[in-house]
Amino acid sequence: MKPLRQPAENLETSVPEDNGTKPATDQDAASNYWDYDYSNFYSGAGFDAFDILDPFDAWWEQARPRGYYLFGQPITTAPGTRVHLVETKGNTKLENLVNLASYNYLGLSYRPEVIAAAQEAIGRYGLGASGSPILSGTIDLHEELAEKVARFKNKESVLLFPTGYSANLGVISGLMRPGDLVVADQYSHASIVDGAILSKAKTRFFRHNNAADLDRKLQGFSGKKLVVIEGVYSMDGDLAALADIVEVSRKYGARILIDEAHSAFLFGEHGRGVAEHLGLDDEVDMHLGTFSKSLGGMGGYVGGSTKFINYLRGFARSRVFSCALSPGVAAGLIAALKIVEEEPELRAKLWENVAFLQERLRNAGVDIGDSESQVIPIMIRDDARIFSIAEELIHGGVYLNPIRYPAVGKHRSRFRISVSAAHTRDDLEEGADIIIRVLRKNGICS
Amino acid sequence: MQLTKYGFSHAVSAFFEMPTELAKNLLPRHLQPLEVQHGSAVFAVTAFDFTESMVGTYTEIVLAVIVPPLLEAGQQFPKSAFYPYLVGTNTPESRAHAIERWHLPHHMADVDCDFAVEGGAMNVRVHDNDKPILEMSVHEHEWGKTNDLYQAFMTDEQKRYKVDIHMNGEFSEHEEESGSLKLHNHPMLEKLEPAEINTYPFRELWMKQGMQTFNELETI
């Protein structure tokens, strides 16, 4: 490339105000929408908290129809293997898309037994629990669900939360205090980060799955320490390097919390999660998860010793100050858990589907990163084009969500496939064919 | 408007996470560190190989903390804003110029930056008469032309300053975490706690054959 060369005397110059160095206007920012993303609007100048709204709106009006509309489009069917979608850009209805976006890993959200249990509970108890779980909100279904989850997870006790998010919030902030140390994997879910913020403990993040960096972050700290990891990482689908992490944590006397949001009820001989799968279930102090993924409902839980659960009952503010789970959801979860226990073939079917789809995509040259699970990233690595590729995929017949900066690193944009046991071989073949065709057309794979 | 231009063959920058409380210690009271995530501020290391300037050719290493930009209604958003808490150069003239014109705090001895391209990576070695200060590597990604706005904040005993800086040239940026940083025991780094700074960058930026253009210094 031709180097820029200028005479030294031109290195200090006077220029008119409108030569391009003049600050751009809101309209300029809007027309150059591609130079901006959500991260630009986190903080803003001015004395009114609403000062940021006009520049954000100017950008959003440009950005939304160019791709951001793809987030949060309404589905008009159950989150099954095929969905109907309202495309909000043109207000058109797209029908019978192969659904590779919902984390309904065992297809339980719409199983007739689950729906029937929920309907019956709503008929008996009504819509809501109408109270905090520590006051009037606990019903017998909550007790039954907690006991059954504890038995399934082989833990002394389990505490229920309204969501998986609130479980991490409540556990971390309920246990850790200012002056303590929380060390979490750098790819931790926002709920782990927010739990650490709420605890006011010192927080450090270690390099993803890197026990040596965890060691570095734990060194020299003499107070209470908590290490937080996930069983399956939600953007890459890889598993926790649990053996090494346990070893380092034990070396420094740190307690370990594992979030099995994407792995409980799926991994391991009994389906307890990645900790069981890796033979380290008893090495982990706290086992946390959500009911919104594999069980197809909503809510969260943490399992551990009865002493730990009893303590947390009084200090997990995200639970204490929230309404208890809806009776319909609790009953549906009990029914879903029963299916998981009685139909291990569901998990076998899921892993067959995962193996099939991973092989199909890899053989076609699709970059699926280091996925070892039902979470399969389709690495696009092109922040500028991911929205247009997403549109092609949806119009081609497959429903997938684009993921781009700042949700992942710059130029690490991707789609994230969630495989379900409910997918048929035809669903997966059709979905893979569409993905491969669109990626080839765009030069993403050969 | 008076513009001051500095032509460079390479400008290499990497962003490393550091504890927020340590970043605060490097900043004046009117600035706050920008957190990349809770408890993690950004330590930015930037090395320049200047080929054209009012004070001739020289190399420069800039140690900075990333801060929120100063935004005003109707103005362009800067790509990043820096508080350079210490700068090192290899010529007395460039030091005197930057101190006088931009109020940039300097390490007052000559510091050299060696640039070596190797297999898609730029390796920068910063040293003081062969006494090592730091080594940094940044890897390339896709190259494209850019003209980005940055801000730098400075301060002295009496005043607070800001300057808008336009960076024009061939540009590569990514977050593949493929680079590295090694900090040595050296007086230039005495304000840091090397063990608390990540040894790998979360963002790597590399510009080639470009022009750094400073607007006029503003008092804020």
Q: In which band, very low, low, confident or very high, does the pLDDT at A42 lie, cut at 50, 70 and 90?
A: confident
A29 CB within 8 Å of a chain B CB = yes
| pLDDT over 50 (residue A9) | no
Q: Which residue of B has its CA nearest to A17?
A: B1
What is d(CA A395, CA A85) in angstroms, rounded to the nearest whole number? 11
Rounded distance, CA A251 to CA A219, Å? 10
Name every residue whose Cβ is closer than 8 Å to that of residue B92 and which is 6 or more positions away in sequence.
B110
- Coil/strand/helix, residue B23: helix
Cβ of A15 under 8 Å from any chain B Cβ?
yes
Residue B204 contacts residue B138 (beta carbons within 8 Å) = yes
Chain B residues whose CB is inside 8 A of the A49 CB are: none
Tell me: pLDDT of A31 over 60: no
Q: How many helices (H) and strands (E) does chain A have?
A: 15, 14
Q: What distances in angstroms separate CA B28 from CA A37, A42, A127, B46, one per listed residue?
A: 29, 22, 55, 20
From the CA atom positions of chain B, what is the Rg in Å?
A: 16
Neighbour tally for A445: CB within 10 Å: 16
A49 near B CB under 8 A: no
Residue A28 pLDDT exceeds 90: no
Q: B159 with A395: CB under 8 angstroms?
A: no
For position A38, what pLDDT does the model report?
Answer: 84
pLDDT band with cut points at 50, 70 and 90 for residue A197: very high
- Tell me the average pLDDT across A52-74: 90
pLDDT at A24: 40
Chain A interface disruption, residue of B54, B57, B71, most A CBs within 10 A:
B71
Q: What average pLDDT is seen over chain B?
A: 95
For residue A213, give the chain B residue with the closest CA.
B198
DSSP 8-class letter at B57: S
B119 reaches A (C-beta below 8 A): no
Distance from CA of B80 to the nearest CA of A (A): 10
CB contact under 8 A, B174 and A25: no
Q: Which domain holds residue B172?
A: 4-219
**A-contacting residues in B 168-197 (Cβ below 8 Å):** 169-170, 173-177, 195
Tell how strand A300-304 and strand A286-290 pair up: antiparallel
Distance CA A208, CA A192 (A): 14
What are the backbone angles phi and psi of residue B75, rounded to the nearest 5°? -105, 160
Return the SS3 of A47. Answer: coil
* Nearest one of B177, B182, B44 to A208, comparing CA atoms: B177
Count of CB atoms within 10 A of residue A49's CB? 8
Of B37, B51, B200, the CB nearest to A193: B37
When pLDDT is averaged across residues B156-171 and rounded to a whole number, the result is 94
ipTM: 0.82
Q: What is the pLDDT of residue A32?
A: 62
Structure confidence by residue, pLDDT tens digits, A354-387: 999 999 999 999 999 999 999 999 999 988 899 9
- Average the pLDDT over B84-91 and give the result: 98
How much is the average pLDDT of A155-183? Answer: 98
Which pLDDT band holds residue A188 (cuts at 50, 70, 90)?
very high
Average pLDDT rounded to a whole number, residues A124-148: 97
In the structure encoding, which two tokens stand for residue A244, read together?
Answer: 């090494």
Angstrom CA distances, A93 to A74, A140, A211, stand at 10, 42, 48
What's the confidence (pLDDT) of residue A30?
46
The pLDDT-based confidence of B182 (bands split at 50, 70, 90) is: very high
d(CA A8, CA A317): 65
pLDDT of residue A446: 80
Contacts of A430 (CB under 8 A, 6+ apart): A98, A397, A398
For residue A409, the model assigns a pLDDT of 86
Question: Residue A13's pLDDT band (boundaries 50, 70, 90)?
Answer: low
Kindly state whether A277 is in contact with chain B, defined as any CB-CB distance less than 8 angstroms.
no
The confidence score (pLDDT) of residue A420 equals 98
- Report the pLDDT averaged over residues B168-177: 94
Q: What is the pLDDT of residue A43?
A: 73
The strand pairing partners of B114, in sequence order, are: B125
Residue B204 burial (C-beta neighbours within 10 Å; 0-12, 13-18, 19+)? buried
CATH number for the domain that contains residue B117: 2.40.400.10
What is this structure's pTM? 0.89
Please give the residue of chain B at the shortest CA–CA distance from A204.
B39
Q: Is residue A31 within a helix (H) or strand (E), and if so which, with residue range?
A: helix A26-31
CA distance A293 to A333: 11
Between these two residues, A340 and A59, which has the higher pLDDT value?
Answer: A340
pLDDT score, position A15: 45
Q: Are B143 and B104 in contact (CB under 8 A)?
A: no
As a whole number, mean pLDDT of residues A86-97 equals: 92
Reported as a single tens digit per residue, the pLDDT across A98-133 is: 999 999 999 999 999 999 999 999 999 999 999 999
Residue A138 CA, chain-centre distance (Å), reads 28
Pick the closest to residue A407 from B35, B175, B204, B68 (CA basis). Answer: B175
**In b/e form, how buried is each residue of B171-184, taking b as 16+ CB within 10 angstroms?**
bbbbbbbbbbbebe
Contact A4 B71 (CB under 8 A): no
Give me the phi and psi of A2, to 5 degrees please: -70, 125
Domain count, chain B: 1
pLDDT the model gives residue A153: 98
Q: What mean pLDDT comes out for the span A238-252? A: 98
Looking at the complex, does the CB of residue B3 fall below 8 Å from at least one CB of chain A? yes
Among residues A371, A443, A439, the alpha carbon closest in space to that of A400 is found at A439
Nearest Cα neighbor of A441 from A383, A384, A380 is A380
d(CA A376, CA A420): 11
DSSP for A127-194, written as a single string: S---S-TTTT---HHHHHHHHHHHHHHT-SEEEEESSHHHHHHHHHHHH--TT-EEEEETT--HHHHH
Q: What is the mean pLDDT of residues B158-174?
A: 95
Residue A40, chain B, CB below 8 Å: the answer is: yes
CATH of domain A68-99+344-441: 3.90.1150.10
In chain B, which residues have their Cβ closer than 8 Å to the Cβ of A2? Answer: 209
Residue B13: closest CA among B46, B60, B59: B46
Determine contact: A196 vs chain B, CB below 8 A: yes
- Lowest average pLDDT, out of A50-64, A329-343, B192-206, goes to A50-64
B113 contacts B47 by C-beta, under 8 angstroms = yes
Please name the member of B2, B39, B175 whose beta carbon is closest to the beta carbon of A202.
Answer: B39
Number of H helices, E strands in chain B: 2, 13
User: Is the pLDDT score of A211 beyond 60?
Assistant: yes
Q: Are A383 and A413 in contact (CB under 8 A)?
A: yes
Q: Average of pLDDT values for B69-82?
A: 82
Chain B residues within 8 A of A36 when measuring between CB atoms: 77
A12 touches chain B (CB under 8 A): yes
For chain A, what is the mean pLDDT? 92
CB contact under 8 Å between B7 and A21, yes or no, is no
Which residue from A129, A386, A439, A148 is spatially nearest to A265, judged by alpha carbons? A148
pLDDT at residue A411, rounded to an integer: 85
pLDDT tens for residues B117-147?
999 999 999 999 879 999 999 999 999 999 9
Residue A404 has pLDDT above 50, yes or no: yes
Return the pLDDT at A52: 84
Phi, psi of B58 (to 5 degrees): -170, 165
Cβ–Cβ of A36/B77 closer than 8 Å?
A: yes
Domains of chain A, by residue range, sit at: 24-65, 68-99+344-441, 112-342
Kindly give, in sequence order, each residue whose CB lies less than 8 Å from that of residue B129, ignoring residues fewer than 6 positions away: B110
CB neighbours of A19 closer than 8 A, spacing ≥ 6? none
Calculate how close chain B gets to A281, using CA atoms only, in Å.
29
CATH numeric code, A112-342: 3.40.640.10
